[in-house]
Structure 1
Amino acid sequence: MTTSDADAAPGDRHDSVLTPVAPGDRIFNLDMLRGWAILGILAVNALTFAWPFAIALSEETRPWAMTTANVTGDWVTAVFFQDKFRTLFTMLFGVSVFLVGGERDNAARGGLLRRRLFWLGLIGLIHGLAFWYGDILLHYAYCGLLMMLVRSWSAGRLLWVGGGITAVWTVLAIGTGLLAPVLMSALGPDFAAKATAGGPQLSPAEIIAVVEQVRSGYGAALLQNLQAWIMAQGASLFLIPVSVPLMMIGLGLFKSGYLSGRAPVWLYVLMTLIGAANLALLGYAEGLKVTGGTLPVVGLATAAAGAATLITLGYASLLILMSRFGLKALTAVLVPVGQMAFTNYLTQTLIMVSLFSMPWGPLWYGTMGPGALWAVVGAVWLAQLIWSPLWLARFRMGPLEWLWRCLSYGRWIPILRSAA
């Protein structure tokens, strides 16, 4: 969840009367981290707004020139952003399930949570079908139905179960990265080359053909989006065992006080250092992959990327430390973006499809490599960092947060601050 209800003070979760949450009840760190996550997600999603779905499946399909700008842009995304910010946003969603739904014996808040998940799923369905296939809201809605069943677990149980499952996936990813090169080498160079290329895929020429089809009009773009949405939603079903444990970790970290900044300082420092070490290893391996690209190098990069959750926790720990030790004014710029994360997430889609694939825009679809896309990402970041506090200076919540809340409560909720 991303509205102000999602950040109710923990003491409010037992209330039987469903009253909107006052601004003073918001939790600074959750808003800050959510703002950080929603901005970082765009850096990863940008390529899928600008190119066909097949681009995300294999580097071999990419038809742009490997200029320094494109290589650098791709490296920055892979090292600093890929799988780190979606992971954080998923953890925070687990917190929101609890803050909205309260304990499992709270029937009133449980009903509110189910209504909010229903509307979230419906909005996600419209978002994915009509605008952008990469929607994650529908996935969060049905994962939320599972997460709500365990929201009353203790912090320790959530961390042990969620962390244990996530650790299994992490070990499997690292093991695959380290062992796959050995296996492929044993099977011969032809097999290894085919595996490195990702198997069957569209050729660059076929990618360009899809680009031209999308650029021919909204109907063709909508058809391509539908086809990609079907594939993406199929893949999302296999992510349920990944997403729900991450939500459990997030709620466990919140209940333990970690996300609120109440854990020992040494623990935040340790997690920051662990995340930084893995980030450095990933950056080194991805850099070697660009210059060498041999199977062992690819395997090392895959192994380092498999532990992306550690980098996510490192990011979060560093931001919490900054907020605790004199740099709160710096991290506070992320708070309004996080308070309007639902609006900002969907606004990112509206901006990007308007620029790239919709007939009313400049139709940049298929024209920008990773380097040029960073200029667009930076411009959207700047716009959302500016417009979020300006909007919240007058209104109590973002426009889509307001709509979602009205639908969930089944009544009109005041949005103007003067009407609060």
Structure 2
Amino acid sequence: MSAGNTALTAAPGSASDPGERIGALDGLRGLAVIGIVPMNVIGFAMPPAAYLNPRAFGGDAPLETALWAISFLVIEDKFRGLFAMMFGAGVAILLGKAADHRLRDHYARMAALLGIALAHAVVLANNDVLRTYAIAGLFLPIVMGWKVRWLVWASAAIMAGQLLVSGWFAWEWIIYWFDRASGALVDSAAHDIAEKLYGHDRDAIAAAIERNGVGLGERIVQRLDELPQQARFVAASLPSSFAAMVLGVALWRSGLLAGRWEATRAFRLARLCAGCALPVLASLAVWAIASGFDPIVTTANALVWSAPFDLVLSVGIAALAMALFGNALQDRPLTARLAATGRMALTNYLATSLLFSALFAGWGLDWFAAVSRGEALVLCLVPISLMLVWSPLWLARFRQGPAEWLWRSSASGRLLPFRRRQRL
């Protein structure tokens, strides 16, 4: 990476030419979409509570605990935050281009993305994140003229506000848990509710297995009926996703995601973020394990207390990847494959859902609740390998991935060129 103007308060648009592709940034985007795979496979393979709580489904073997702990420390929500930061940076790049009707085009892209997201959520994956991105993306133009320092502070303020609100409710639950654990309270009604939602409740697990075993048509009807409930999920995830997007804009404008930071500076940021986040996340993991994965403790840790530190570690991962992809790993074949995977991030994200649905849904092989956490994570190698193999092969013949082409064509209202021109 060149030294360039790497000040944190770099002027708008000074980081790089928005029209040129940055290999390291594409590689980081590829890493982000790959990192989401081990998060999503648990949602496809197991009852919902198992996503947060390894004791909810899959047993209590040491391997299950170790795999959960690794995911909690370095994967869970870190790569979702990274994916959101990449989305924010991508919007900043597009809005930074000199073009007529930039705002109109932006809102058309968000509308088209929302349509794709709703179809994805109804047909394949009700844990779809694209709905949140499309809605949060509507507000990104508001911050595009802000200084980098303001963007960072705005992101921090949003996360602090969310922590204040959600922490208020979570703290009440933690006090309740402590009173029960210390014997000061014997009432178990609230704990039974938490067990049903986030613990090993047999009736809840049996209901999830039954719900997953239906055919595709019936599953679509179920998900259409669940749209109001899903809307609440999307609304709850908006603040953290928007905070990550705003931070992505800041990291682009500062020059980090534009590839203009010195490697030593990027490594220094990565170490700082890891040093701030990992000790807290490790402490939360130890607390959850020591509690016997009590559903109140485990859920509060995963959804509330870890959230700001997840985002800090996402920044550290971004800094580390940009330093490596722009220097030591710049010319490696794997980096080129990651970059191709990143250029087809939307296609690869949707294709992973299709593959996992074929493996775990009732209309597919129906492996739902039939594999352990370890086996589910091994199955992640299938879509990850396919991404790395097919993405460069596809882009050698076509301008972009099929989902990217559909998105951009829908937003522009016309069919855009798809195939690459063949050289004579």
Tell me the TM-score range normalised by the shorter chain.
Answer: 0.7 to 0.9
1:121 to partner: Cα distance: 0.7
Does residue 342 of structure 2 align to residue 338 of structure 1? yes
Match of 1:376 among 376, 379, 393: 379
| Counterpart residue identity of residue 45, structure 2 | A
Q: Cα distance 1:82–1:101, how it changes in 2: closer, same or farther (>3 A)?
A: same
Does residue 317 of structure 2 align to residue 311 of structure 1? no
Q: How many residues align?
A: 400
Q: Cα distance 1:218–1:408, how it changes in 2: closer, same or farther (>3 A)?
A: closer
Report the counterpart of residue 414 of structure 2 in structure 1. Answer: 411
Match of 1:348 among 331, 335, 352: 352
> Is the Cα–Cα contact under 8 Å of residues 259 and 320 in structure 1 kept in the other structure?
yes
Q: Cα distance 1:29–1:132, how it changes in 2: closer, same or farther (>3 A)?
A: same
Match of 2:213 among 198, 212, 215: 215
1:230 to partner: Cα distance: 3.6
> Is the Cα–Cα contact under 8 Å of residues 119 and 407 in structure 1 kept in the other structure?
yes
| Counterpart residue identity of residue 361, structure 2 | S
Report the counterpart of residue 154 of structure 1 in structure 2. Answer: 147
| Counterpart residue identity of residue 311, structure 2 | T
Once residues 79 and 93 of structure 2 are traced to their aligned partners in structure 1, the CA distance between those partners, rounded to angstroms, is 21
SS in 1 for 2:111: helix
| Counterpart residue identity of residue 110, structure 2 | L
* TM-score, reference length from structure 1: 0.82
Higher mean C-alpha deviation, range 88-97 or range 407-416: 407-416
1:356 to partner: Cα distance: 0.9
Higher mean C-alpha deviation, range 185-194 or range 401-410: 185-194
Once residues 265 and 339 of structure 1 are traced to their aligned partners in structure 2, the CA distance between those partners, rounded to angstroms, is 23
| Counterpart residue identity of residue 290, structure 1 | I
1:340 to partner: Cα distance: 0.2
1:179 to partner: Cα distance: 9.4
> Is the Cα–Cα contact under 8 Å of residues 30 and 342 in structure 2 kept in the other structure?
yes
Once residues 288 and 10 of structure 1 are traced to their aligned partners in structure 2, the CA distance between those partners, rounded to angstroms, is 42
Report the counterpart of residue 165 of structure 1 in structure 2. Answer: 158
Report the counterpart of residue 322 of structure 1 in structure 2. Answer: 324
Residue by residue over 1:147-196, the C-alpha shift from the partner in whole angstroms, topping out at 9 and shown as x without a partner, is 12222223222222223322454677789989975674357354699559
Does residue 32 of structure 2 align to residue 37 of structure 1? yes
Match of 2:80 among 80, 86, 89: 86
Q: Cα distance 1:36–1:171, how it changes in 2: closer, same or farther (>3 A)?
A: farther
Residue by residue over 1:342-388, the C-alpha shift from the partner in whole angstroms, topping out at 9 and shown as x without a partner, is 100110111011111152x2111221231110111122111111111
Report the counterpart of residue 17 of structure 1 in structure 2. Answer: none
| Counterpart residue identity of residue 356, structure 1 | F
Q: CA RMSD in A?
A: 3.4
1:203 to partner: Cα distance: 2.3
> Is the Cα–Cα contact under 8 Å of residues 16 and 255 in structure 2 kept in the other structure?
no
Report the counterpart of residue 7 of structure 2 in structure 1. Answer: none
> Is the Cα–Cα contact under 8 Å of residues 257 and 263 in structure 1 kept in the other structure?
yes
Higher mean C-alpha deviation, range 238-247 or range 177-186: 177-186
Report the counterpart of residue 128 of structure 1 in structure 2. Answer: 121
Once residues 303 and 323 of structure 1 are traced to their aligned partners in structure 2, the CA distance between those partners, rounded to angstroms, is 31
Report the counterpart of residue 3 of structure 2 in structure 1. Answer: none
In structure 2, stretches of 5+ residues that fail to align are: 1-12
% identical aligned pairs:
28
> Is the Cα–Cα contact under 8 Å of residues 275 and 310 in structure 1 kept in the other structure?
yes
> Is the Cα–Cα contact under 8 Å of residues 27 and 325 in structure 2 kept in the other structure?
no
Residue by residue over 1:294-344, the C-alpha shift from the partner in whole angstroms, topping out at 9 and shown as x without a partner, is 889868887456411121111111111212432222533311110000100
1:244 to partner: Cα distance: 1.7
> Is the Cα–Cα contact under 8 Å of residues 51 and 366 in structure 1 kept in the other structure?
yes
Q: Cα distance 1:355–1:84, how it changes in 2: closer, same or farther (>3 A)?
A: same
| Counterpart residue identity of residue 111, structure 1 | R
Does residue 226 of structure 2 align to residue 232 of structure 1? no
> Is the Cα–Cα contact under 8 Å of residues 214 and 220 in structure 1 kept in the other structure?
no
Q: Cα distance 1:127–1:261, how it changes in 2: closer, same or farther (>3 A)?
A: same
Does residue 239 of structure 2 align to residue 241 of structure 1? yes
Higher mean C-alpha deviation, range 76-85 or range 186-195: 186-195
1:141 to partner: Cα distance: 1.1
Once residues 207 and 233 of structure 2 are traced to their aligned partners in structure 1, the CA distance between those partners, rounded to angstroms, is 24
| Counterpart residue identity of residue 66, structure 1 | D
Report the counterpart of residue 16 of structure 1 in structure 2. Answer: none
Report the counterpart of residue 276 of structure 1 in structure 2. Answer: 274
1:58 to partner: Cα distance: 5.4
Q: Cα distance 1:409–1:335, how it changes in 2: closer, same or farther (>3 A)?
A: same
Q: Cα distance 1:138–1:273, how it changes in 2: closer, same or farther (>3 A)?
A: same
> Is the Cα–Cα contact under 8 Å of residues 15 and 260 in structure 2 kept in the other structure?
no
Q: Cα distance 1:9–1:212, how it changes in 2: closer, same or farther (>3 A)?
A: farther
Q: Cα distance 1:288–1:199, how it changes in 2: closer, same or farther (>3 A)?
A: closer
Higher mean C-alpha deviation, range 338-347 or range 326-335: 326-335
Q: Cα distance 1:149–1:107, how it changes in 2: closer, same or farther (>3 A)?
A: farther
Once residues 318 and 290 of structure 2 are traced to their aligned partners in structure 1, the CA distance between those partners, rounded to angstroms, is 31
Once residues 271 and 191 of structure 1 are traced to their aligned partners in structure 2, the CA distance between those partners, rounded to angstroms, is 47
In structure 1, stretches of 5+ residues that fail to align are: 1-7, 14-20
Once residues 176 and 165 of structure 2 are traced to their aligned partners in structure 1, the CA distance between those partners, rounded to angstroms, is 15
SS in 2 for 1:418: coil
Residue by residue over 1:3-43, the C-alpha shift from the partner in whole angstroms, topping out at 9 and shown as x without a partner, is xxxxx997776xxxxxxx6xxx2122321111111111121
Once residues 404 and 14 of structure 2 are traced to their aligned partners in structure 1, the CA distance between those partners, rounded to angstroms, is 18
SS in 2 for 1:75: helix
1:279 to partner: Cα distance: 2.7
Once residues 269 and 196 of structure 1 are traced to their aligned partners in structure 2, the CA distance between those partners, rounded to angstroms, is 46
| Counterpart residue identity of residue 257, structure 1 | G
* TM-score, reference length from structure 2: 0.82
> Is the Cα–Cα contact under 8 Å of residues 118 and 141 in structure 1 kept in the other structure?
yes
Q: Cα distance 1:182–1:242, how it changes in 2: closer, same or farther (>3 A)?
A: same
